[in-house]
Amino acid sequence: MHYRFLTEDQSSKIAMDILVPKLLYDQDTYNIYSYKGIGTIRKKLKPKTDAHKRILLDQLPRLLQGLGRTPNSGRIIILCDLDDRNKESF
Residue (of 48, 59, 1, 60) closest to 25 by Cα position? 1
pLDDT tens across 41-83, in order? 666 655 555 555 678 888 888 888 887 777 777 899 999 888 8
How would residue 19 be classed by pLDDT, with cut points 50, 70 and 90? very high
Query: Strand, coil or helix: what is 21?
Result: helix
Mean pLDDT taken over the chain: 83
Q: State what percent of residues in the chain have pLDDT above 90.
A: 34
| 88 secondary structure, DSSP code | T
Rounded to two decimals, what is the model's pTM? 0.77
